[in-house]
Amino acid sequence: MTRIVPDNARLEIKFNAHELEADKIKQWLKLHPACFYTPYPDRWVNNVYFDTHHYHCYAENLSGGSSRTKLRYRWYGQNPFPEKGILEVKCKRNYFGWKLRFSANKSPYEKESSWRDVQRNLIDQLTPEARIWIESHPQPVIINRYYRMYFVSRDEKVRATIDIKQQMFDQRYKPFPNIHHSVNLPKTLVLEFKFDRNDRSIASQIMQGLPLRVSRNSKYMIGVKSIHGY
């Protein structure tokens, strides 16, 4: 991973609350002077996170280093099994975030596919760079799903998402995707603001009146801790 923050990197600030606060936070955004509106319909977001057999991504993020990565395959919709989507290398340097994205135009999963089949189907249709990421991170660790709501300020400088209804499924030691035995998680809401580095002051003014605390929230980290019982 390059240690240089690219020009398209965004600042990402997260807040946590209980799911019961969802309506209040939505109302706060809609009534805000920044005039947030909804650019896309709400939808389910699904991810499978891959790591090395030694959990390098988890250890890298746990250490709190300034530079860290996570590898996930993401698709949208109600289906909890992988469909056509995007392999994403999620890169972070301090509060800056950016992604390397590789599209998969065909579903890597067919009925009764094993994880080995899924990974092989991804490798067959992705670029050489993406294949290296899959091959070097062969361990599917968790599938997580959540319901996402989207908001954008009227000037389109600040974007916000609200994630609720989080579900987590342990994939360790599973030859086939497991979506039947979920991990118990607290009913947490995650509010995230994303904005260009040049718009930091605008975003700061927007977030000033928010009655929530900034939180370092990684769904992958929470998932791994949950399946290990930490």
**Residue 188: inside a domain:** yes
CA atoms within 13 Å, Cβ hemisphere of 184: 2
Count of structural domains, the chain: 1
**Residue 1: inside a domain:** no
Q: CB of 24 within 8 A of CB of 135?
A: no
Q: How many other CB atoms are found less than 10 A from the CB of residue 159? A: 18
Nearest-angstrom CA–CA distance, 54 and 195: 34
Reference 87, options 159, 164, 12, 140; nearest CA is: 140
Tens digit of pLDDT for each residue in 7-25? 888 999 999 999 999 999 9
**Residue 5: inside a domain:** no
**Residue 4: inside a domain:** no
Question: What pLDDT score was predicted for residue 221?
Answer: 87
Residue 1 has pLDDT above 50, yes or no: no
Please name the helix (run of DSSP H) or strand (run of DSSP E) that holds residue 23, with its range, or none. helix 22-31
Q: How confident is the model at residue 230 (pLDDT cuts 50, 70, 90)?
A: low
**Residue 2: inside a domain:** no
Q: How confident is the model at residue 3 (pLDDT cuts 50, 70, 90)?
A: low
Q: How confident is the model at residue 64 (pLDDT cuts 50, 70, 90)?
A: low
- CATH number of the domain bearing residue 109: 3.20.100.30
Reference 3, options 71, 88, 96; nearest CA is: 96
Which domain does 209 fall in, by range?
10-228
Question: What pLDDT score was predicted for residue 6?
Answer: 87
